[in-house]
Amino acid sequence: MVVVKPAGLPSANAARGEESLYTVLKSRFGEGAFVGVVSRLDAPVSGVVVFAKTPAAAAGLAEQFRDRSVEKAYLAVVTGRFPAPLGSWVDWHDAISRREGEPKSQLHPAAAASDRGGDEAPRAAHLRARVVVRAGEVSLVELEPSTGRRHQLRLQLASRGCPIVGDRLYGSRLPCRSGGIALHAQRLAFDHPATAAAMRFDSPCRAVWSAAFPSLFAGAAGPSVRGC
């Protein structure tokens, strides 16, 4: 099941009595239905996520995520000066760790990455990024991560002086008038776990982004970004 998660709704593991995308799907398909959580987005992030309908599908999709064969693309609106020329892709190799109970993840040099240890051990975090449009104090950025660490995109951008609009946890001083934070999962591509057929799902930029950031979408055709 591929769905577009709205900003503000957790993917799963919401507090008891609170709604999440997982509980919405369980309610829709019935308590006896299998709903396997395969990919997640932070609660304030919107965009494409995939759930499995069978244990076999969950295992097959999880393997693709572990092997980094899933294609993922995001859009973000950031403040500050992005550390690369307009339109030029940059590759960031870092390591990220998290501590249970702490709201923020921590960034480390890539050399600190380890495949051993628990969640607190720094894990490799790779991201390709480029600026698509600059307008005043904000920029529209395209992001292609090959890893999926907790708060990875938020932390890697903030650590380079360009936090995502609305992301107060990582230093943004500019609120996101469209709700949540200005980060959207616009594309997810993988092989069907049963048939191996190539599948791709695109979610266009939320229409509200045009109203929230008119300087970035002032052109007649808008930014030339897939899914935007």
List pLDDT tens digits, range 34-68: 999 999 999 999 999 999 999 999 999 999 999 99
DSSP code, position 204: P
- 76 neighbors 151 (Cβ within 8 angstroms): no
The pLDDT of residue 165 is 96
The pLDDT of residue 105 is 95
The pLDDT of residue 224 is 54
Establish whether 67 is a catalytic residue. Answer: no
CATH 3.30.2350.10 fits 1-67+186-208, yes or no: yes
Other CB atoms within 10 Å distance of the CB of residue 92: 19
Q: Nearest 5°: phi and psi at 141? A: -120, 135
Q: Which stretches of the chain are DSSP H helices?
A: 21-29, 55-66, 152-158, 207-212
Residue type for 84, please?
A: A
- 50 neighbors 61 (Cβ within 8 angstroms): yes
- 21 neighbors 3 (Cβ within 8 angstroms): yes
Q: What is the pLDDT of residues 159-169, one digit of tens each?
A: 999 999 999 99
Which residues in the chain come in under a pLDDT of 70?
115-119, 206-208, 219-228
Residue 167 CA to residue 138 CA, distance in Å, equals 13
Choosing from 42, 91, 115, 191, which is the catalytic residue?
A: 42
Structure tokens of 148?
């999926």
What pTM, to 2 d.p., does this model score? 0.92
The pLDDT of residue 226 is 54
Among 92, 72, 97, smallest CA distance to 82 is for 92
Residue 134 CA to residue 50 CA, distance in Å, equals 31
Task: Give the total residue count for the chain.
Answer: 228
The pLDDT of residue 206 is 64
CATH 3.30.2350.10 fits 73-176, yes or no: yes
- 149 neighbors 125 (Cβ within 8 angstroms): yes
The pLDDT of residue 177 is 79
Burial state string for 55-69 with b = 16 or more CB within 10 A and e = fewer than 16: eebbebbbebbeeee
Question: Cα dihedral sign for 134, 138, 143, 145?
Answer: positive
- In this structure, the dihedral spanned by the alpha carbons of residues 209, 145, 46 and 50, taken in order and rounded to 10 degrees, is 140
User: CATH 3.30.2350.10: which residues of the chain?
Assistant: 1-67+186-208, 73-176
